[in-house]
Amino acid sequence: MAVLPIRLIGDPVLRTVCRRLSLDELRSEDVQEFIDDLIETMRDANGAGLAAPQVGRAVAIAAVQIADNPRYPYKPNFPLTVFVNPTVTAIGHETESLYEGCLSVPNLRGLVSRSMHVHIDALDRHGHSITLDVHGLTAGTFQHEFDHLEGRLFVDRVEDSSTFCTWDNFDRFHKTAFVQRAESIVQQYGG
């Protein structure tokens, strides 16, 4: 296993619509090793998730894992989930504005509107079908990773550019209020 270099905004791979994988390709040694590296890189960087294009491959694979994450201490824990060839469908119309950040967009955060309930159909890393219903902040995390597979970054979805801030200024000016709101979102939506 290896920690891979994380591609940064401006790299064309982050703007590519990712190719879906055949079962044979997914189960190949090369792709299975790549998935191990994706997970190791996500953990090394304290990401809540990481998508394949962020480490240079425009294939439809992403991982999410939240385990007492120091970058996002208000996010509830969520077990390691690798999802391949996903479709993500919003359930209902409830949305909330969440501060997002991204390992591919250093030192920037901004408010993004996300659906609070989403349904995911995908394959797991072994090619078995999985369905997930996720809620609240976790739903936001999955939508962020799914966007990467479509060549989109959170900065594309920030409607009010005055909400862009550095991580230090998030901590200084916005964290207290947002953490309170994040806690109420977790209570309300269960994620």
Specify the stretch interacting with Ni ion by CB under 5 A; choose among 58-66, 101-109, 117-125, 180-188. 101-109
Report, in Å, the least distance between residue 167 CB and Ni ion. 14
Provide the terminal-to-terminal Cα distance of the chain, rounded to the nearest Å: 31
Task: List all residues 6 or more positions away from 176 whose beta carbon is below 8 Å from its beta carbon.
Answer: none
Contact between 51 and 78 (Cβ < 8 Å): no
Q: What is the 3-class SS of 119-179, one letter each residue?
A: EEEEECCCCCEEEEEEEHHHHHHHHHHHHHHCCCCHHHHECCHHHCECHHHHHHHHHHHHH
Number of residues that bind Ni ion (CB under 5 A): 1
Instruction: Tell me: does residue 158 bind Ni ion (CB under 5 A).
Output: no
Report, in Å, the least distance between residue 154 CB and Ni ion. 7
Would you say 102 or 165 has its CB closer to Ni ion? 102
Would you say 154 or 188 has its CB closer to Ni ion? 154
Task: List all residues 6 or more positions away from 164 whose beta carbon is below 8 Å from its beta carbon.
Answer: 108, 109, 110, 155, 158
Instruction: Tell me: does residue 102 bind Ni ion (CB under 5 A).
Output: yes
Instruction: Tell me: does residue 66 bind Ni ion (CB under 5 A).
Output: no
Q: What is the sign of the dihedral through the CA atoms of 34, 83, 58 and 159?
A: negative
Would you say 12 or 190 has its CB closer to Ni ion? 12
Query: What is the C-alpha to C-alpha distance for residues 142 and 163, in angstroms, rounded to an integer?
Result: 21
Report, in Å, the least distance between residue 102 CB and Ni ion. 3
Specify the stretch interacting with Ni ion by CB under 5 A; choose among 19-27, 31-39, 78-86, 102-110. 102-110
Cα 107 to chain centroid, rounded: 16
Would you say 7 or 119 has its CB closer to Ni ion? 7
Report, in Å, the least distance between residue 147 CB and Ni ion. 8
Active-site position among 25, 96, 100, 145: 145
Would you call 145 a catalytic residue per the annotation? Answer: yes
Tell me the catalytic residues.
Answer: 145
The residues of the shown chain that bind Ni ion, judged by CB under 5 A, are 102
